[in-house]
Amino acid sequence: MPRVCFGCNLLQSQLLPYPARAQPAGSPKAVKPLIFLANTFINTFGITQPTEAAANRAARFIAFLIGVVLLIFFLAVAFGIYYIARN
């Protein structure tokens, strides 16, 4: 069997496969934007690939944070418009 690791003594059969990204089977990433966003975040920061359940939980958490930020932004804009209209 040929060696695949030049600086070590590992054979191809001893290497662990790269873990699959958490994504429902049969659906492209564009269909699941929150899963895509979670995978992008995980891969950008080099975090160990989570299980599918953990990736779904992370996607919901990211969606919650985006919702909170948008809510705060729209409330600030609404308050600004109200304040300008009153004065």
Helices (H), 1-87: 33-44, 52-86
Burial of 37 (0-12, 13-18, 19+ CB in 10 A): middle
Q: Could you state, in order of their start, the residue ranges of all structural domains in the chain?
A: 12-86
Q: pLDDT of 13-71, one tens digit each? A: 555 555 555 555 554 444 478 788 778 888 888 888 888 888 888 888 888 898 999 99
Distance between CA atoms of 61 and 56, rounded to whole angstroms?
A: 9
Q: What is the reported pLDDT for 6?
A: 52
Provide the pLDDT confidence category of residue 3 given band limits of 50, 70 and 90. Answer: very low
Q: How far is CA 23 from CA 4, 31, 69, in A?
A: 29, 10, 26
pLDDT at 29: 47
